[in-house]
Amino acid sequence: MNAPIYLSYFPYRLNFKYPFRIAHTERTGTDNVYVLLRQSEFTAWGECVFIPYYSETLETFKTLISNTPLPTNTEDIGAYSSYLKNLFPDSYFCIGALDIALHNLRTATTGLSITAQYNLPENTKGTSFTFGIADDAELERKFNDNPSMEYYKLKVNEQEVNRIINTYKRLTDKPYTIDANQGFSDRNEVLKLTHRLADEGVAYIEQPFHKEDLESHAWLKSRSPIPVIADESFQNFQDLEKVVKYFDGINLKVMKCGGISEGIACLKRAQEMELKSIIGCMSESSVVNDASKQIAGLADWVDLDGPLLLTNDLFATQKPTEKLISLLSTR
């Protein structure tokens, strides 16, 4: 189909059910923008989130769309996304919103899911549910509010890791994983932690040290009995050749890598490099998460709980496009 594609966008604020604290920051929500594409009678949505510790903002998005011609079709979205990344190398989140919207438009016009478009394996894995750093009472409340998840991800730091794990283990014997978000500095303490985690059947530990401290991650990788996963140290495809030397795996997020096209390429290349992979999220709503789920069959673990952490996900249920536009336009 070569009919013109038209774009509209709607800034929005996603609010969290609980304050979200990780090793170095705390927030109560995330600003985002929803992208609507129309082509003839077809419509499709994309989404971009603006995380405070990343550089992209609504103004970044406006600059991108003001200086970018839309494609006339959805036949080669990957090539279009690569073209944009050459023009705007610091706008991967914003490019990801267009990439996701174009994939959803292709679904609308062809009837093929993203999984079918790329002939990917279906995802059969359940998602983890993330607990931000919190006191014991809040951890208990979060678990009691969400008791049926397949496994849980515990955000930790060096000072509170043992308390958090011990509190969690008093609540449940369900599997858990650890995400440190660069919250450690003592190599020996982390190594000791990985042996405890291995004894408890924990699948992996994410990003214990600062993203630029690759040598500490390499040191840990050579000694840890469980995989060491890159999160902040890994952004997109070009980082794969770097992180393979220092980590056992990656956490792939379609926002950080610029969309579905590069996400698929990253996960396939990770398999070739014998890197483990998580497909994760950046606290987005169902627009990004639903697209990410469709490539999750390529990953070893799934961490797509973003919508479960929100109070105002407008896309959690299917609503007519015009009703969504009305809701978003009044915000």
Structure confidence by residue, pLDDT tens digits, 87-117: 999 999 999 999 999 999 999 999 999 999 9
Q: CA 136 to CA 115: how far, in whole Å?
A: 40
In the chain, % of residues over pLDDT 90 = 91
151 beta partners: 128
Q: CA 276 to CA 177: how far, in whole Å?
A: 14
pLDDT at 1 over 70: no
Instruction: Tell me if 5-116+314-329 shares its fold with 121-309.
Output: no
- What pTM value is reported for the model? 0.95
Q: Which of 32, 29, 30, 38 is nearest to 10 (CA)?
A: 32
Tell me whether residue 57 is exposed, middle or buried, using C-beta atoms within 10 angstroms of its C-beta: 0 to 12, 13 to 18, 19 or more: middle
CATH topology classification for 121-309 = TIM Barrel (3.20.20)
pLDDT at 330 over 80: no
Which is higher by pLDDT, 37 or 319? 37
Q: Residue 264 corresponds to which amino acid? A: I
Report, at the CATH architecture level, how domain 5-116+314-329 is classified: 2-Layer Sandwich (3.30)
pLDDT at 193 over 70: yes
Structure confidence by residue, pLDDT tens digits, 44-90: 999 999 999 899 999 999 999 999 999 999 999 999 999 999 999 99
Q: Mean pLDDT throughout 16-39?
A: 92
In the chain, % of residues over pLDDT 70 = 99
Q: CA 13 to CA 29: how far, in whole Å?
A: 7
- Tell me the domain boundaries of the chain: 5-116+314-329, 121-309
Backbone angles phi, psi at 199, to 5 degrees: -65, -30
Structure confidence by residue, pLDDT tens digits, 212-268: 999 999 999 999 999 999 999 999 999 999 999 999 999 999 999 999 999 999 999
SS (H, E, C) the chain: CCCCEEEEEEEEEEEEEEEEEECCEEEEEEEEEEEEEEECCEEEEEEEEECCCCCCCHHHHHHHHHCCCCCCCCCCHHHHHHHHHHHCCCCHHHHHHHHHHHHHHHHHHHCCCHHHHCCCCCCCCCEEEEECCCCHHHHHHHHHHCCCCCEEEEECCCCCHHHHHHHHHHHCCCCEEEECCCCCCCHHHHHHHHHHHHHCCCCCEECCCCCCCHHHHHHHHCCCCCCEEECCCCCCHHHHHHHCCCCCEEEECHHHHCCHHHHHHHHHHHHHCCCEEEECCCCCCHHHHHHHHCCHHHCCEECCCHHHHECCCCCCCCCCHHHHHHHHHCC
